[in-house]
Chain A
Amino acid sequence: MTAELGHFALILALVLALVQAIVPLVGASTGRPAWMALARPAARGQFLFIAIAFACLTRAFIDNDFSVLYVAEHSNSLLPVVYRVTAVWGGHEGSILLWALILALWTVAVSLFSRHLPEPMVARIIGIMGLISVGFLLFTLFTSNPFERMLPGAVEGKDLNPLLQDPGMVIHPPMLYMGYVGSTVAFAFALSALISGRLDAAWARWSRPWVTTAWCFLTVGIALGSGWAYYELGWGGWWFWDPVENASFMPWLAGTALMHSLAVTEKRGGFKMWTALLAIIAFSLSLLGTFLVRSGVLSSVHAFATDPARGVFILGFLVVVIGGSLALFAWRAPSVGTGGSFEMVSRESALLANNVLLLVATAAVLLGTLYPLLIDALGMGKLSVGPPYFEAVFVPLMAPALFLMGIGPITRWKQANAIDIARRLRWAGGVSFVSAIVAPLLLGHWTPMVGFGVLLAAWIVTTAATNLIGRLREHPAPTLRAKLAAQPGSYYGMLLAHCGMAVFIIGVTLVKGYETEKDLRMEVGDTATIAGYTFRLDAIRERAGPNYNAAQGTLTVTRDGQPVTVMHPEKRLYTATKTPMTEAAIDTGFTRDLYASLGEPVSRTAWSVRIHHKPFIDWIWFGCLLMALGGLMAVLDRRYRSVRSTAPQPAQPAQAASSASSAPASGTPALVVRTSTRVP
């Protein structure tokens, strides 16, 4: 009964999505307020019904209703309740339903936080989001209905993939989807601005918090996925350039470019078409990510769906959405006009360079991800693109972008003086160089790669400090406290996010440069030493879990004779699926992780064991967290909450240009619309 109720609710949600898509869009183009006013209630109704459908599916999982095919395939009566709930999105059908739910959630958020927007704009935004929702609900109902019954019902479920039975997996997909689906909002904003022809600074300011919020979720989602891979897959790696990882990384890169390009559109009225195009690209890449992961075209751990009908549907949907929005862009963009002009040395140039680098990087990842599929589809054989490709491309592309990260925020809009910048940053440069030489020596030995990584990280932090000190000095407030309080939240957010990137770089560089690992054959009583830590295998014993049996090792770790920790890596055999699984043991520390995993019995008394020493690896995820926090701080900036701003107020371009401080004072948005200034 629950399943039928859920199915019915989903159909009603589709009906409401159709209403939400069609009526407000028609109303906006024909100027009927009543039709436009339908957007908000329809969106909320749609959310309600999808939520009911989702709740029904969750109920079926909790009740172990194995007459529902999807439940039978992804759950088991022995599965702990919390994993039964998360098993809802453990497979294809449920995760698409989760996608639809999150899309409805974003739409409701738009309906709540859009009171200061012009009514036709809201109607169009919600209408476009409704169209996307229609696509996803049709997809769910016709090709991947999670409520499908199986008669007679199964006695027992097949169990959730053991890899997904993990706390990290509880929040990773919802976070990632919040990020993916969040790009729909920026997309809908861009399309409605294109339709109305109002692609201006006000549009940019409305979009910014949405883009940044989605970006924060995506950052956290990717970091969680990477952390999960690190401790759950048992290989000790944190990023594999797996197509599924790339699928989430490409929208992140495009979203990062979009965030920075929106800054120019808001502050200077420039890059308008480019920003709109980036919004379309970011959303298209999110859709492509769904297609890659969910259609089963990839040979990867995540590809649990293998049904061509789904692939064809998503591909068709992709063509319609991307093709349609690009056509709209081509049709409307020429009427938008270009933004203000700027000199070669200016913040605009720095941000433009950042955008180009990020997009080239995105294209490189896209090439490496799609090329094998293309060759396969053309019947030209099978091949794969290895991680060395991505690393070889990424480092040289990102290095200049990271260098610019130090310069951009300190450079004036419109026109800046290169000599002046060099003078202001000479201390930052000096300190960075010294740390690049000294820090690696303190940590072990100096290698060019580690030195370069430290250089970039130190550069980002020192230039951020220079920037902050400069801003505080210029501010007229009498006390340091008042000076600090006078800077807008978005400014601190930017600094924090950039420093998060520096922390991330430190993590990546040091773990790559100094990690050690050993594959060993160990009998009880054997010891092995890496990086000064001595591991002794004390015992291997049997242990029974709720839905698995495990062999559990006991490794005692000592350093210079002092006890450090005791680790318990496991080799589990999940009873329902007969799947073996390595459960690594990790001892986390601020400057290093110790990581141990059990291989298999290699003789009657010995096991193969892998031990790793991973310096600074947790900084990778800590850096991501800082980036997301920085984004959050920027979103919470007061100026986004100011109610007034239904119409853009042109500010004096000259004033914005001459103001040495970059961001406008909080609460007084300096909107610069199109300027026709030409420098002779």
Chain B
Amino acid sequence: MKARTKRGVAIVVGLVTLGIAAALVLNAFQSNLVFFFSPSQIAANEAPRERSFRLGGLVEQGSLKRDTSGLTVTFVVTDLAKTIPVTYTGLLPDLFKEGKGVVAQGKLGADGMFRADQVLAKHDENYMPPEAAEALKNAQAGKGAPMKSNEAMTK
């Protein structure tokens, strides 16, 4: 093989490989983006029904309930404007608490119940998950109401 042909072959092989890799990456990327929605956005029907997404806000005071098995919990996530009921089966993270920020990942059921397969709360009690903080901020801006004093919001 001539040097030039060889180089040509190498370049073509390289480009094809890179093309395959890029297609692979972008395809996986597309299908694994997890979008974030706040209770207000869900109430406005902006959230998808089929696809898994993240929901963030505060766990409403007094809303945490356990079923008789003790492992399935329901609670209400609020952005102080709208609320969404959430159900989850499994162990809750250490810092999950009523009145604190939370991010749940899962799907929205036809009954309006959010079925979470993952509940995230961050490992510092003053630390607010940015998604949750954002949801509260947007809801406040939407209502034009003065910000309620909330310890977690100051962070």
List chain B residues, Cβ under 8 A from A578: 125
Closest residue of A by beta carbon distance from B97:
A580
Number of interface residues of A (CB under 8 A): 50
**B29 and A367 within 8 A (CB):** yes
Pick the interface stretch among B75-83, B128-136, B141-149: B128-136
Known: A301-B123, A382-B130, A384-B34. A521 touches B69 (CB 8 A): yes
Given the known inter-chain contacts A393-B24, A679-B3, please indicate yes or no for A384 contacting B125, CB distance below 8 A. Answer: no
Number of A-B residue pairs having CB atoms within 8 Å of each other in the complex: 108
Task: Collect the chain B residues with CB atoms within 8 Å of residue A662's CB.
Answer: none
A581 at the interface (CB under 8 A from B): yes
Point out the residues of chain B lying under 8 angstroms from A161, CB to CB: 123-124
Given contacts A161-B123, A382-B130, contact A580 B71 (CB under 8 A): no
Docked Cα-Cα span, A356 to B20, in Å, equals: 13
Measured between C-beta atoms, what is the minimum distance from A581 to chain B in Å?
Answer: 6
Bound-complex Cα distance A368 to B29 (A): 8
Is A606 at the interface (CB under 8 A from chain B)?
Answer: yes
Total interface residues in chain B, CB < 8 Å? 39
Contact A610 B91 (CB under 8 A): yes
Residue of A nearest to B130 (CB): A299
- How far is A600 from B134 in the complex, measured between Cα atoms in Å? 29
Q: Closest approach, in angstroms, between the C-beta of A225 and any C-beta of chain B?
A: 14
A519-B29 contact given A163-B123, A386-B34, CB 8 Å threshold: no
Selected contact of A385 from candidates B24, B32, B66, B91, CB within 8 Å: B32
Contacts of B155 in A (CB 8 A): 306
Using CB atoms, name the residue of chain B closest to A573. B94
Which residues of B, 1-47, contact A by the 8 Å Cβ criterion?
Answer: 3, 6, 9-10, 14, 17-18, 21, 24-25, 28-29, 31-36
Which residues of B have CB within 8 Å of A582?
Answer: 94
Whether B90 is near chain A, meaning CB under 8 Å from some CB there, is yes
A573-615 interface with B by 8 A CB criterion: 577-582, 597, 599-600, 602-603, 606, 608, 610
> Shortest distance in angstroms between A493's beta carbon and chain B's nearest beta carbon?
29
**Residue interface bits A453-489, CB-to-B below 8 A is 1, else 0:** 0000000000000000000000000000000000000
Closest CB-CB distance, B75 to chain A, in whole Å?
14
A507 to B80, CA, bound (A): 46
Q: A residues 178-228 with Cβ under 8 Å of B?
A: none
How far apart sit A396 and B23, CA to CA, in the bound complex (Å)?
12
Given A393-B29, A397-B21: 7 more A-B contacts, CB < 8 Å = A304-B127, A360-B21, A364-B21, A382-B54, A388-B32, A579-B124, A599-B91
Query: Can you list 6 pairs linking A and B with CB atoms under 8 Å apart?
Result: A344-B10, A360-B18, A364-B21, A381-B36, A389-B31, A519-B89
Chain B residues packing against A (C-beta within 8 Å): 3, 6, 9-10, 14, 17-18, 21, 24-25, 28-29, 31-36, 54, 66, 69-71, 89-92, 94-95, 122-125, 127, 129-131, 134, 155
Would you list the 9 A-B pairs with minimal beta carbon distance, nearest first?
A602-B70, A389-B32, A392-B28, A382-B36, A599-B91, A521-B70, A299-B130, A580-B94, A301-B123
